[in-house]
């Protein structure tokens, strides 16, 4: 049962930060609230005060700039990202990612900021944004700070947000040339939370074939979305090769630290990490080579 709470609504970001400061001992932010209300109904969370930022239009925006890249306000809904022409043009992977999250109803009401702030390692945006080298801007009443997303996720449902901080914006830099990013999640029922997921980016060198830079991000395979750094090291300087991909997949699966639960064993999850890593790297590599050829 949901316990009673004091309901406060903020109409500006400044007001929200003010209210947070005032109630920082016992408050929760509600935006889409789809994760929060479930926890509250189960009695796992019973804040004295709820600060509603759903209608904070100030944080509801998508902007793109060739130099700065993409900026998404925290209260932007998943559906807005999914249907944005800007996003489709410059970061089509994000559109694809959104189409595979939950349901239209959930995406209509749920927000990107809320998703990230929840800190669920099985969330989809986390790994994808990390693969895209994304950052988040957070603030409290006194100051703002920006940090890379890979430093934002700490543990299961634990982020780097301090108790008086609010997530304001997600920043995705422009995708470098000769770079492709891919993402796949494994589930039994389409759009369900992944059993594991892998986001992979490949940036090619001048020759348009060898890997200059890469990111392999594992989702739902550790307490937080995590990069498979040992696996990444194996790729730098190399050309695409089936045996190489097989090795990288195996190393990535060893770096994974997934749970054993009713949906899958730890061993199966690791096998999936292996397969998905191989597939996503191969896909990204092919796409990047195609882009390199176009550029040439």
Partner 1 sequence: MEKKLLRITVNNEYHELYIKPKKLLVEVLRDELGLTGTKRGCNTGACHACTVLLNGESVKSCSVLAMQADGAQVSTVEGLQDKGKLSPLQRSFLDHGAYQCGFCTSGMLMSATALLNKNPDPTKEDIKEGIHGNLCRCTGYNSIIRAIKAVAEGKYKEDDR
Partner 2 sequence: MKKYNVINTPVHNIDGIAKVTGRARYTFDISLPHMLHGKILRSPYAHAKILNISVIKAESLPGVKAVVTGQDTLGIKQGIWRRYKELCDEEILARDKVRYIGEPVAAVAAIDEDKAEEALDLIEVEYEPLPAVFEQLEAIKEGAPLIHEHAERNINVTRHIEWGDVDEAFRAADYIREDWFRCSSQAHVCMETHCAVASYTPEGKLTVYTSTQSHYYIQVLLAWILGMRENDVRVISRYTGGGFGSKFELDSAQFCSSLLSMKVCKPVKIVLSREEEFMATKRRTPMFYYLRSGVKKDGSFLAKEARVFTEGGAYTAMGATALYLTGFFQAFPYVWPSYRYDGYRVYTNTAPTSAMRGFGAPQAIFCAETQIDLIADELGIDPIELRRKNVMYPGYEVPGQAYIQSCGINQCLDKVEEWIKSRGELPPNRGIGIAAYGFMSGGIFNWFDTPYAFSSAVIQINIDGKVDLYVGSQDMGQGSNTTMAMICAEELGVRVEDIRLHMGDTENCPVDLGAWGSRETLMQGNAVKMAASDAKRQLLEFAAAKLSPNIVYDMDIKDRWIHLIARPERGISYFDIVKEAIRGKDGQPIIARGHYTPHRKGMISPAYSFGVQAVEAEVDPDTGKISLKNCVTAHDCGQVINPIGVKGQLEGAIAMAAGYGFTEDLPMDEGKILNPNLVDYKILRTTEMPETNVFEVETYEPEGPFGAKEAGEGLTNPTAGALGNAVYHATGVSIKGLPITPEKVLAALKEKNKKKKK
CA 133/CA 181 separation, integer angstroms: 11
- Minimum Å gap between C-beta 273 and partner 2 is 11
125-133, 222-230, 233-241, 267-275 -> range binding partner 2 (CB under 8 A): 267-275
103 binds partner 1 (CB under 8 A): yes
- Minimum Å gap between C-beta 268 and partner 2 is 4
The DSSP element (H or E) to which 34 belongs, if any, is: helix 34-41
Alpha-carbon dihedral sign for residues 245, 247, 252, 258: positive
103-111, 162-170, 194-202, 250-258 -> range binding partner 1 (CB under 8 A): 103-111
Annotate each residue in 172-201 with x if it binds partner 2 (CB under 8 A) or - if it does not, as one string.
--------------x-xxxxxx--------
Nearer to partner 2, 205 or 266 (CB): 266
Do 216 and 234 touch, CB atoms closer than 8 A? no
The DSSP element (H or E) to which 130 belongs, if any, is: helix 125-131
Do 144 and 136 touch, CB atoms closer than 8 A? no
Interacting residue with partner 1 among 5, 61, 64, 268 (CB under 8 A): 5
Torsion, Cα 144 15 10 167, to 10 degrees, reads 10
99 binds partner 1 (CB under 8 A): yes
Annotate each residue in 182-221 with x if it binds partner 1 (CB under 8 A) or - if it does not, as one string.
--------xx------------------------------
Nearer to partner 2, 23 or 278 (CB): 278
The radius of gyration of the chain from alpha carbons, rounded to an integer in Å, stands at 20
Assign residue 102 a region: left if phi > 0, alpha if psi is -120 to 50, beta otherwise? left
272 binds partner 2 (CB under 8 A): yes
Backbone angles phi, psi at 6, to 5 degrees: -85, 130
DSSP 24-73: TTSEEEESS-HHHHHHHHTTS---SEEEE-TT-GGG--EEEETTTEEEEE
b/e per residue 173-205 (b: at least 16 CB within 10 A): ebbeebbbbbbbbbbeeebebbbbbbbbbbbbe
Nearer to partner 1, 52 or 266 (CB): 52
96 binds partner 2 (CB under 8 A): no
186 binds, among partner 2, partner 1, none (CB under 5 to 8 A by kind): partner 2
Return residues touching partner 2 (CB under 8 A).
1, 186, 188-193, 262-265, 268, 271-272, 275
Return residues touching partner 1 (CB under 8 A).
2-7, 9, 30, 32-34, 37-38, 41-42, 50, 52, 54-55, 79, 99, 102-106, 108-109, 190-191
């Amino acid at each position: 049962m949901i316990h009673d709470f004091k309901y406060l609504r903020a109409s500006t970001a400044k007001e929200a930060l003010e209210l947070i400061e005032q109630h920082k001992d016992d408050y929760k932010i509600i935006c889409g609230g789809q994760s929060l209300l479930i926890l509250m109904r189960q009695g796992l969370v019973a804040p004295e005060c709820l600060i509603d930022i759903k209608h904070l239009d100030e944080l509801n925006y998508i902007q793109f700039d060739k130099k700065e890249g993409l900026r998404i306000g925290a209260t932007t809904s998943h559906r807005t990202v999914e249907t944005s022409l800007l996003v489709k043009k410059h970061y089509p992977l994000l559109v694809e990612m959104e189409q595979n999250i939950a349901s239209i109803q959930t995406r209509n009401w749920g927000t990107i900021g809320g998703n990230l702030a929840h800190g669920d390692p099985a969330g989809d945006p986390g790994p994808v944004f990390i693969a895209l080298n994304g950052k988040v801007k957070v603030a409290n009443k006194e100051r703002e700070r920006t940090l890379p997303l890979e430093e934002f996720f700490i543990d299961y449902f634990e982020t780097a947000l301090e108790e008086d901080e609010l997530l304001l914006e997600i920043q995705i830099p422009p995708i470098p040339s000769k770079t492709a990013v891919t993402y796949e999640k494994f589930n039994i029922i389409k759009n369900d939370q992944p059993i594991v997921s892998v986001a992979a980016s490949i940036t090619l060198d001048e020759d348009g074939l060898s890997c200059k830079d890469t990111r392999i991000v594992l989702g739902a395979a550790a307490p937080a979305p995590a990069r498979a750094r040992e696996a990444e090291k194996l790729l730098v300087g190399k050309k695409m090769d089936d045996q190489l991909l097989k090795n990288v997949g195996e190393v990535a699966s060893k770096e994974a630290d997934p749970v054993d639960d009713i949906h899958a064993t730890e061993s199966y999850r690791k096998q999936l990490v292996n397969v998905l890593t191989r597939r996503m790297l191969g896909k990204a590599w092919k796409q990047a080579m195609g882009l390199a050829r176009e550029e040439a």
